[in-house]
Amino acid sequence: MAEVSDLTKLRAALSGYLIEPREEAYDQARRVWNGMIDRRPAAIARCATVTDAVRCVEFARTCDMTVAIRGGGHNVAGNAVCDGGLVIDLSLMKEIVVDAPRRRVRAGGGVVWGELDAATQQHGLATTGGLMSTTGIAGFTLGGGLGNLMRSYGLACDNLLSAQLVTADGRELMVSGVENSDLFWALRGGGGNFGVVTELQFQLDPVGPILVAGGVAHPLSAARDTLRFYREVTTGAADALMVYANLGHGPDGSPRVGMRSVFNGPVAAGEEAVRKLRGFGSPIADEIRPRSYVEIQRLVDPNFPAGRLNYWKAHFLAELSDELIDLVVEAFRRVPSRYSGIAFEHMGGTVARVGASETAFSHRSAAYSFLILAGWEDPSESEANVAWARDLWEQVRPMAAAGVYVNYLGGEGEQRIHEAYGPNLDRLTEIKRRYDPDNFFHMNQNIRPEALRHT
């Protein structure tokens, strides 16, 4: 463990600043999105430059300290913060440079999606980003990155052109298809295992600025029929049409089923594409309309405030069977909290046209991502909420496809981590061994450098 005097040296060496437990800013700085996470690092280094990140890595190595890397602090597992170690916090690294003629953007490791979308949309451009404006571009992209544009343009990691990386031995590397291409492959789905990403460069495409988007809601009594209809709408849908389904609660707290759509194309074509969706049943709410892409990228923000208690469980699905729909709807009737929900994210399109071994993210043939989002406010209700999510997840497991999205994993153990990296685990392990043989970067869904038996 580092001595206080050592931290003083680190503080003096940074262009950014260091926050220690005695400081007023400490309690706010150690918080992450998930209120279940309550960890107390020895210090939080708010890096302002790549050199700061290098100094943090060198310092932590010398003192044998654990490091955690923080991008947007959104991850439900809370690995952006550690007990007793050093948090390498990139939230000051906010530079965004759009190269509109070449349709590219470079952005610092602390940028969040709301910031990137606002900057690229000034030029009528965008890349696949998260559904919430406060999710970090770094952690999101390193795990894969599922979003509204993915059926049109692929996952966020498919649009990554290059990254600047600080490795475990303190080197600054440029990583792309031509430089350090082994690392470039690993970064696109292998999470934060390989170093500190201080800058990311993405490919952009023309988007909007106005797209047809929004949700339709039905009462829970119509949930079975609505989810069967959702399956029908999503089967064979155009790449431009993204539809999510969810079981949740309305503003008055009543349980409901919803379908939220985004059409990535001209407004007239969008109105046509959502006509069938709007015509189904008797919706209790219809909020589909032309909206700016920037607004669309903030639509779900109010549903997921920072600090609430959260527990998530996920699967990929090869299909949405009647049996699974029945099971999920029944389980939702027993949900203990009005803040909990169940979501289906429609995969396919461009995502599926990339090979399973082309990037570290391998789950290319999944039809849907299935997510149980338990959220509640009173800590005395934690046991009941966690039990509800676990129970449903166990019931769905026999019907699920192999694998899980690494960015939706909590602390679920090594077997589940193997399932997240799937058939790419062995190659990821080799690259980890090459660049981080001591497992310096282990606060993540960890790829252990020693050989693992892949089950």
Ligand X SMILES: Cc1cc2nc3c(=O)[nH]c(=O)nc-3n(C[C@H](O)[C@H](O)[C@H](O)COP(=O)(O)OP(=O)(O)OC[C@H]3O[C@@H](n4cnc5c(N)ncnc54)[C@H](O)[C@@H]3O)c2cc1C
CB of 282 to ligand X, least distance (A): 29
Question: Which residues, in sequence order, are CB contacts of 142 under 8 Å at separation 6+?
Answer: 157, 187, 188, 189, 190, 191, 192, 197
Q: Are 362 and 422 in contact (CB under 8 A)?
A: yes
CB of 39 to ligand X, least distance (A): 12
Interface with ligand X (CB under 6 A), residue from 142, 149, 243, 389: 142
Which residues is 174 bridged to in the sheet?
A: 164
- The secondary element (H helix, E strand) that includes residue 309 is strand 309-317
Alpha carbon separation from 92 to 16, 17, 286, 309, 391 (Å, rounded)? 8, 10, 39, 26, 40
- How many Cβ atoms from other residues are within 10 Å of residue 334's Cβ? 9
Is the bond preceding residue 209 a cis peptide, omega within 30 degrees? yes
With CB under 6 A as the contact rule, the residue among 41, 73, 208, 258 that binds ligand X is: 73
Tokens of 165: 């990386």
Q: Which of 186, 444, 447, 449 binds ligand X (CB under 6 A)?
A: 444
Part in contact with ligand X (CB under 6 A); list of ranges 76-84, 263-271, 286-294, 428-436:
76-84
Cβ-in-10-Å burial (0-12, 13-18, 19+) of 80 comes to buried
Q: Report if residue 190 touches ligand X, rule: CB under 6 A.
A: no
- Least Å from the CB of residue 169 to ligand X: 15
Nearest to 41 by CA among 2, 76, 12: 2
Pick from 43, 67, 138, 242: which binds ligand X (CB under 6 A)?
A: 138
Smallest gap from residue 100 Cβ to ligand X (A) = 25
CB of 420 to ligand X, least distance (A): 12
Measured from the CB atom, is 135 or 226 closer to ligand X? 135
Q: Which is nearer to ligand X, 156 or 400 (CB)?
A: 156
Instruction: Classify 344 as helix, strand or coil.
Output: strand
Contacts of ligand X in 266-325 (CB under 6 A)? 304
Contacts with ligand X by CB under 6 A: the residue count is 35
Q: How far is the CB of 63 from ligand X (least distance, A)?
A: 20
Residues near ligand X (CB under 6 A) are 32-33, 69-76, 79-80, 90, 109, 130-132, 135-136, 138-140, 142-143, 145-147, 191-192, 196-197, 304, 407, 443-444
